[in-house]
Amino acid sequence: MSIYKSLKEEAYEANMELPELGLVLFTFGNASAVDRDKGVFAIKPSGVPYVDLKPEDMVICDFDAKIVEGTMRPSSDTKTHAVLYKEWSDIGGVVHTHSTYGTAWAQAIKDVPIFGTTHADHLISDIPCAPPMKDEYIAGDYEHMTGYQIIDCLKERGLDYNEIGMILVGNHAPFTWGATAAKAVYNSAVCEEVSKMAYLTLQINPNAVILKDALKKKHYDRKHGTDAYYGQGC
């Protein structure tokens, strides 16, 4: 029995949630889960339909995206996941999808504006959209540099990856992360739903204004602040 059995199961469960939540079509996405103690992560194999996927199919890679265990080629986005795990020590899972509304905003190269309290319940800023990748990065180690495209965008904007949990990559699509693979999936679903809400808001009122600061702070803090009172964990 593989010493990575539980890690593979965690990654498998995260991946299987993506089509159930309507976040992927065919094989347009991937999820991974990390084991910090072993210095590896489990990720979906490339191009395998979700209906055919099994826990044992998950590929184990190290933080340099080298295969440690597995018989199939890992996701083409493996190097991006590896960079994020290597650079961000607090994350436990990463998800990449081409969900419709999140991808539409990414293709438009636009941040998703924070129009309402649903958005503020999860992050207090717009969902950032990183700029399209430079030609030399595209021609080089593309997936590896996608990871740094994400990291650099947050650094340049003074955003904390522990507080954001999601980003759009310009001309590409959303990436999300979280303390666990399940949380990364949750953030992916939130990113898509909030992106949809923002799009519809602008259809109804092209001059809609962003949420005022008092409401941003109230809704974020009641869920994530030091005196949070949302849910049963207070």
What is the pLDDT, as a whole number, of residue 224?
A: 83
52-91 core/surface letters (b: 16 or more CB in 10 A; e: else): ebebebbbbbebebeeeebeeebbebbbbbbbbbeebeeb
Structure tokens at 104: 């539409």
Q: Are 150 and 84 in contact (CB under 8 A)?
A: yes
SS3 (DSSP) at 51: helix
Q: Are 58 and 42 in contact (CB under 8 A)?
A: yes
Query: Looking at 152, 213, 229, 230, which residue is catalytic?
Result: 230
Please tell me the CATH code under which domain 5-224 is placed.
3.40.225.10
Look up 230 and say whether it is catalytic.
Answer: yes
Identify the weakest region by mean pLDDT among 76-85, 99-108, 162-171, 208-217: 208-217
Look up 62 and say whether it is catalytic.
Answer: no
Q: Parallel, antiparallel, or unpaired for β 93-97 and 174-178?
A: antiparallel
**Nearest residue to 144 via CA among 60, 61, 81:** 81
Mean per-residue pLDDT of the chain: 96
Q: What is the largest CA-CA distance in the chain?
A: 59
Query: Looking at 111, 121, 141, 221, which residue is catalytic?
Result: 121
- For 133-170, how does the pLDDT look when each residue is reduced to its tens digit (9 = 90+)? 989 989 999 999 999 999 999 999 999 999 999 999 99
- For 175-184, how does the pLDDT look when each residue is reduced to its tens digit (9 = 90+)? 999 999 999 9
Structure tokens at 71: 């018989």
Q: Are 93 and 31 in contact (CB under 8 A)?
A: yes
What is the pLDDT, as a whole number, of residue 234?
A: 44
Residue ranges of the domains in the chain? 5-224
Confidence of residue 28 (pLDDT cuts 50, 70, 90): very high
pTM: 0.95
